Structures are given as C-alpha cells and as structure tokens.
Structure 1
C-alpha cells in the first residue's frame, strides 16, 4: 500500500450484492439461482417488468411470474458472491463441497439439486465450507414453504450458529399497498417484500454509520484504541467502532481482530480443525467489545468502518472545494 493511502481507498464492500433463489409460481418445481446488487430491480427484470436484463431461462413461456424466495447476502466482495453463485449452480461438481456430501441424484448435470430439499441442502453445505463460512454471510427468507423446508433440514446439515437468518415471510401486501403501482407490477411477484428488505438493509447500515460518525465528532475527530491506547490516524488507518449506540469504544483494526481471534469460546470453527492443522485464521467472525462486553460481528464492524471512512472523506473533500 502506497504511503498516504488508507485501506478504504483500496477496498470497497458492495452494499447488497447477494445470491438469490427464484421459484416459478406456475411451475412449483422450477427454480433459478442468480446474483445481483439490487434484488428488487432484478426480480422485475426476471418477470419482464423491465425489458432489459433478465435471463433466458426465466423468459420461457409458462414460468412467469417468479418469486424471490431466498437471498444470501453480506459478501465482502462481488467476486465472493459470484463464486458462491457458481458453486451453488454447479453443486454436483463444485470443489467447495466434498464429493461425499453433495446432494444430487447421481447424474452429472444436476446443477444445484433436483428437489428444493437438495437445493437448500447444498446452500447449507456451502455456508459450512472453508471458503465461505468466515465471511459473515446472512440469509433472508421470503416464503413460508421455503422456510419450512429450511427448518426441516431433511439431510441434517447443521450450519454455524453465527449465520444470521432474516425471516421476512410476514412482509405481505396490506390494503394500502393494493393501490401502490410500485408494489403490484405482476400478480404474485413479491415485489413489496423485496423492496422492504432492500430498504431495511440500507437503513440499518445508514443508521449505524451515522451513530459512528457522531461518536467520532464527540471525540473531535481523534480516536484512540481501546486496547493499546494509541491514537489512530484516521487519514491513514481504519477506525473500527463498537456497533452499539451507547458504547463509545473505538479500536485499531489489527488490535481488535487479534482480540476477537483470541476468544476461543466464540470461535467454534477454530476448535476441532485447528487441532489437526497448523494454519490459523487471520480474520475473526465475532467477538466482544472490551468496554461494553457485548458481541460484535466482524463483517458488520468492517462494513461500517468503510462506510464511515468514505463519508468522512467525502465531507472533507466538499469542505475543501468550498
């Protein structure tokens, strides 16, 4: 990294780049897996509301409308989301799932599995894989039947308890929404659910960013690490914040990462495998704030820190221009 260049100049986390599962409302056993930074717009493309975009398989006669039933998100980069998409689409041959664990009917070209139980099982297996389990991925579910299949877990594949489930099956149309053109493009398409989900993710990150900026201003734009007590240079380093509004703790990136990695009780994935391997993880999944003692998830902490850095740099640039 060149001198005078901060980490956020080189790393950009997508706000909502995820991998989705569509289900045809006319042919219940027909599914489609794709990826997008905008699930609301993408669903409109697949259903033909927006003429540009979509995919050949979802344009075929007799399959529309499609409903987005599940969304996997929280990826640190577009590349990691695309890797997950490809692995899920090709579960019968992906290197991310051991051959003995893949769920398919034994035929070569069985994609992500031939049944919804198999498709969700392969998704679970990817969430447990070494390539994806440390990324802080989350799952949003928009369909009651899909949620029931997920909970049933026919093949008994356990996922780590730190994979957060965002259950959105109650985000249904109200009487007021029936007259909302934005909510009802195609009968049956769950546009309102997806729109509400997208807006809630954006609002949550915006609120967290605003709280962290307020903490920075309270300290007159200077921060010291709550672990090593050294002052953090915001122009060169990335300041990471406790995500709780009433906690003013700030940390140096490396200090807090190492502190989280040392918390064995919260890093279940380090137990059995690390006994058999000398390779230790360098990125934590979650850990306690040393001041308020509450749990912070590393994915959320880093995303917020990058958003705050970008906002502060943008504000400073605007002030210089004036």
Structure 2
C-alpha cells in the first residue's frame, strides 16, 4: 500500500546496489520521492545528481518527512550529510573503520531526531524498503510524537477547496472572532487556529496557542503538544498546523508550514 501525503518535504537516503559501488549511500532532499528515485537511476540527463549518475541502480531505503517547509528540510539534509561540521551534532561519534557508511549515517540520523530543533518537529521516519530496516537502539529512540512507518509514500498536492468540486460545504464563522486564550479579536483566518475534533469550536490566535502550549517550556519556540483550551483533548501541534492547511489525515502524514509564526515567538 502506498501512503499519500500532502504538502510533502522529505530527506532520504539511497543505497547503491551496483556490485562495483555496492554499499555507497547518498542523502538528498525531495518533494516527490517517486520521481526523485527515477531521476537518480536515470542519470544526470534525467535530472539525477552527478554523485549518483552512472553508479546505479540505487534503492531509496528510508525517508524522513513532515518538515514545515523546504528550508527546514534542506538544513536537515545538510546536517545529515556533514554531521561533524554541524554545531548541533558535535556529540555524534565519528565513523569507525568497521562501520559501514550506511550504519554510520543511520546512527547520525537517530541522533539528529533527538536534538533541537528537529526533536520538536512533527517528523515521520519511514522505511521504504523493509529489507534494509535496522532496529533503533534503546538509547536513541526518537521522541514519542515521531511515528516509525513502513511502506512507500507518494507526494500529493494539497487539494484546493472550492465550489463545484462535489464537496460538502462547511459553515465558516465570519471574522473577526474572539481568541479562546487571550480573548482579543482574531481578525482573519490567516491568524487563526481551530481544533480538528468535530465537536470543538476552538478559535485562537496561532501565537497565543503556541505560547499556552509552551508555558512549561518557555525556552522553546515550537510546541509539540498540549491540551485544547476549548474541548480539553490532547492535540499534537503538527496536527493542528496540518488541519489549518487542509491536509489533516493519518498521524503519519505530518507536514506544513510553521515558519510565518516562529519568529514572532521571540517577542
């Protein structure tokens, strides 16, 4: 079964199966994993990277997805490629002679998922090829809000909602509305968050709810989860953002942009 994910940004690892280059790996960024592996195996003239061109075939063995935007994913890609240059990964041991490149970069990935800022993002670690799967070491388990998934994934554009698409119309309350946290008026939908539970009528400023979720972690900028101030249900921040963008679905499908409000948390 192929899982479809809307608003897809992913960082993947390739494994070379060519006997001449067997065991080599490549780390890259993509918004479309199915198209990207075809490009790598097609060579430079098909859009593949020069480092993989002529050395295939390659297997795309795992991918980390759920980044809020391409900038966040590209920074993750660079740190994964250069762990001993990244200031966030100075604690990661260097590769040993007995360690394969695959196992080393897998170990680096496990460390990355446990350190800031990545440990607060709604990421999914997905094994695309189960025969390459390695059990996670007990001391390097990712945060509980990051699911471990198996199987292929397909990028899907966020569906545009509009008239004439055969969808049921949902009543939208007119703006401005009152924020459930600060009780000031929310002037536009761009500034608003709503709970995804069907019976909940929550409306709140994005910044207000973020600060509420971070009351016990004032040193952080990005919430992970909290209790909805309206219905009282525990909700993941990543799910609220996905719901706002119109692509809330399975917990595996975590994505969407938070970049427009993160800087405001400094104020």
The TM tier, using the shorter chain, reads 0.7 to 0.9
Which residue of 71, 75, 80 maps to 2:72?
80
Instruction: Tell me the secondary structure at the aligned position of residue 113 of structure 2.
Output: helix
Structure 1 gaps of 5+ residues are: 1-13, 108-112, 169-192, 265-269, 271-278, 309-322
Q: Aligned residue for 2:228?
A: 289
2:35 maps to 1:58: no
Equivalent-residue separation in structure 2 for 1:105 and 1:130 (angstroms): 25
Q: Aligned residue for 1:242?
A: 195
* TM-score (ref. length: structure 1): 0.63
Structure 2 gaps of 5+ residues are: 1-5, 248-267
Q: 1:152 to 1:71 in 2, by over 3 A?
A: closer
Does the Cα contact within 8 Å between 2:13 and 2:25 map onto a contact in 1? yes
Q: Aligned residue for 1:67?
A: 59
Equivalent-residue separation in structure 1 for 2:223 and 2:112 (angstroms): 19
Q: Deviations over 1:284-320 (max 9, x none)?
A: 1111212332232223323443569xxxxxxxxxxxx
Which residue of 161, 165, 176 maps to 2:144?
161
Instruction: Tell me the secondary structure at the aligned position of residue 71 of structure 1.
Output: strand
2:121 maps to 1:135: yes
The alpha-carbon deviation at position 245 of structure 1 amounts to 3.5
2:103 maps to 1:117: yes
Equivalent-residue separation in structure 1 for 2:169 and 2:197 (angstroms): 12
2:239 maps to 1:300: yes
Q: 1:126 to 1:120 in 2, by over 3 A?
A: same
| Between structures 1 and 2, the one with greater strand share | 2
Q: Write the mapping of 1:303-322 to structure 2, written as runs, cut at 5 A.
A: 303-306=242-245
Which residue of 17, 34, 37 maps to 1:40?
34
Does the Cα contact within 8 Å between 2:80 and 2:108 map onto a contact in 1? yes
The alpha-carbon deviation at position 228 of structure 1 amounts to 3.3
Matched pairs, number: 235
Which residue of 94, 97, 101 maps to 2:86?
94
Does the Cα contact within 8 Å between 2:84 and 2:90 map onto a contact in 1? no
2:9 maps to 1:23: no
Q: Aligned residue for 1:104?
A: 95
Equivalent-residue separation in structure 2 for 1:89 and 1:37 (angstroms): 18
The alpha-carbon deviation at position 234 of structure 1 amounts to 0.7
Bigger RCO of structures 1 and 2 (CA < 8 A, at least 6 apart): 2
Equivalent-residue separation in structure 2 for 1:26 and 1:118 (angstroms): 20
Q: Aligned residue for 1:190?
A: none
| Between structures 1 and 2, the one with greater helix share | 1
